[in-house]
Amino acid sequence: MTQTKTLTIVLAAGKGTRMKSRLPKGLHAIAGRSLLGHVLAASDEALDGDVAVVVGPDMTNVCNETEHCSPGAHTFLQAGQKGTADAVLAAREAIAAAGDVFVLFCDTPMLRPETLVEMRAALDAGANVAVLGFEAADPTGYGRLLTSESGDLLAIREHNDASEAERTVRLCNSGVMAFRCPDLLGILDQISCDNAKNEFYLTDAVEIARNAGLKTVAVASDEAQLLGINDRAQLAVAESVYQDRRRDDMMRGGATLIAPETVWFSHDTVIGEDVVIEPNVFFGPGVTVGNDVQIRANCHIEGAVIGDGARIGPYARLRPGAKLGANVHIGNFVEVKNVDMGVGSKANHLSYLGDGRVGDGANIGAGTIFCNYDGFFKHRTEVGDGAFVGSNSALVAPVRIGNGAFVGSGSVITKDVPDNALSLERAEQSTREGWAEKFRTVMKRRKANAK
> Does pLDDT of 287 surpass 50?
yes
CB contact at 8 A, 383 and 359: yes
CB contact at 8 A, 242 and 225: no
CB contact at 8 A, 13 and 78: yes
- Residue 222 CB-density burial (10 A; 0-12 exposed, 13-18 middle, 19+ buried): exposed
Lowest mean pLDDT among 10-24, 110-124, 405-419: 10-24
Q: Are strands 171-179 and 129-135 parallel, antiparallel or unpaired?
A: antiparallel
Enclosing domain of residue 390? 232-423
End position of a domain, from candidates 180, 197, 226: 226
Answer yes or no: is 250 within a domain. Answer: yes
Q: Give the pLDDT confidence score for residue 444 in this predicted structure.
A: 94
220 and 249, same structural domain? no
Answer yes or no: is 439 within a domain. Answer: no
DSSP-H helix ranges across 351-426: none
Q: What CATH code is carried by the domain that includes residue 171?
A: 3.90.550.10
**How many other CB atoms sit within 10 Å of the CB of residue 178?**
26
287 and 176, same structural domain? no
266 and 182, same structural domain? no
> Does pLDDT of 51 surpass 90?
yes
**What distance in Å separates the CA atoms of residue 49 and residue 82, rounded to the nearest whole number?**
27
244 and 184, same structural domain? no
Tens of pLDDT, residue by residue over 131-144, are 999 988 888 888 89
217 and 252, same structural domain? no
42 and 174, same structural domain? yes
User: What 3-state DSSP class applies to 335?
Assistant: strand
Identity (one letter) of the amino acid at 372?
Answer: N
Tens of pLDDT, residue by residue over 301-324, are 999 999 999 999 999 999 999 999
Answer yes or no: is 441 within a domain. Answer: no
Q: 380: pLDDT confidence band, cut at 50, 70 and 90? A: very high
Q: Write the DSSP symbol of residue 428.
A: P
25 φψ region: left (φ > 0), alpha (ψ -120 to 50), beta (else): alpha
In the predicted model, what is the mean pLDDT of the chain?
94
Give catalytic status of residue 300 as yes or no: no
**What distance in Å separates the CA atoms of residue 274 and residue 321, rounded to the nearest whole number?**
24
Answer yes or no: is 433 within a domain. Answer: no
End position of a domain, from candidates 195, 226, 257: 226
Lowest mean pLDDT among 149-163, 180-194, 352-366: 149-163
Shortest CA distance to 287 belongs to which of 20, 1, 31?
31
CB contact at 8 A, 355 and 379: yes
CB contact at 8 A, 144 and 171: yes
Answer yes or no: is 428 within a domain. Answer: no
Q: Give the pLDDT confidence score for residue 137 in this predicted structure.
A: 84
290 and 313, same structural domain? yes
CA torsion through residues 132, 136, 138, 139, sign: positive
Helix, strand, coil content of the chain in percent (nearest 5): 25, 30, 45
**What distance in Å separates the CA atoms of residue 235 and residue 179, rounded to the nearest whole number?**
29
CB contact at 8 A, 94 and 111: no
* pTM, entire model: 0.89
413 and 316, same structural domain? yes
User: What 3-state DSSP class applies to 152?
Assistant: strand
Q: Give the pLDDT confidence score for residue 159 in this predicted structure.
A: 83
CB contact at 8 A, 249 and 38: no
239 and 330, same structural domain? yes
Q: Give the pLDDT confidence score for residue 109 in this predicted structure.
A: 95
Q: 157: pLDDT confidence band, cut at 50, 70 and 90? A: confident
**What distance in Å separates the CA atoms of residue 25 and residue 365, rounded to the nearest whole number?**
47
**What distance in Å separates the CA atoms of residue 250 and residue 284, rounded to the nearest whole number?**
15
**What distance in Å separates the CA atoms of residue 313 and residue 348, rounded to the nearest whole number?**
8
Whether residue 398 has a cis bond before it, omega within 30° of 0: yes
Report the C-alpha dihedral over residues 278, 284, 288, 291, rounded to 10 degrees. 0
284 and 396, same structural domain? yes
How distant, in Å, are the alpha carbons of 42, 225, 270, 351 from that of 113? 5, 11, 19, 43
> Does pLDDT of 394 surpass 60?
yes
294 and 213, same structural domain? no
222 and 253, same structural domain? no
> Does pLDDT of 4 surpass 70?
no
> Does pLDDT of 1 surpass 80?
no
CB contact at 8 A, 378 and 355: yes
Q: Give the pLDDT confidence score for residue 198 in this predicted structure.
A: 86
Answer yes or no: is 451 within a domain. Answer: no
Q: Give the pLDDT confidence score for residue 3 in this predicted structure.
A: 39
Answer yes or no: is 174 within a domain. Answer: yes
Q: Give the pLDDT confidence score for residue 402 in this predicted structure.
A: 97
Tens of pLDDT, residue by residue over 16-47, are 889 999 999 999 999 999 999 999 999 999 99
Lowest mean pLDDT among 63-67, 298-302, 422-426: 422-426
How distant, in Å, are the alpha carbons of 269, 271, 298, 317, 353 from that of 334? 21, 22, 12, 6, 8
Q: Give the pLDDT confidence score for residue 451 in this predicted structure.
A: 74
Mean pLDDT, range 423-432, rounded to an integer = 88
Q: What are phi and psi of 156, to 5 degrees?
A: -115, 125
Lowest mean pLDDT among 70-79, 394-403, 442-451: 442-451
Lowest mean pLDDT among 40-49, 195-204, 250-259, 308-317: 195-204
Helices (H) and strands (E) in the chain, counts: 9, 35
How distant, in Å, are the alpha carbons of 84, 151, 195, 233 from that of 162? 18, 20, 11, 27
CB contact at 8 A, 132 and 115: yes
Q: Which residues pair with 323 in a beta bridge?
A: 305, 340
Give, in degrees to the nearest 5, the angle at Cα 283 between 316 and 317: 15
Give the count of domains, the chain.
Answer: 2
End position of a domain, from candidates 187, 202, 226: 226
Answer yes or no: is 437 within a domain. Answer: no
Q: What CATH code is carried by the domain that includes residue 263?
A: 2.160.10.10
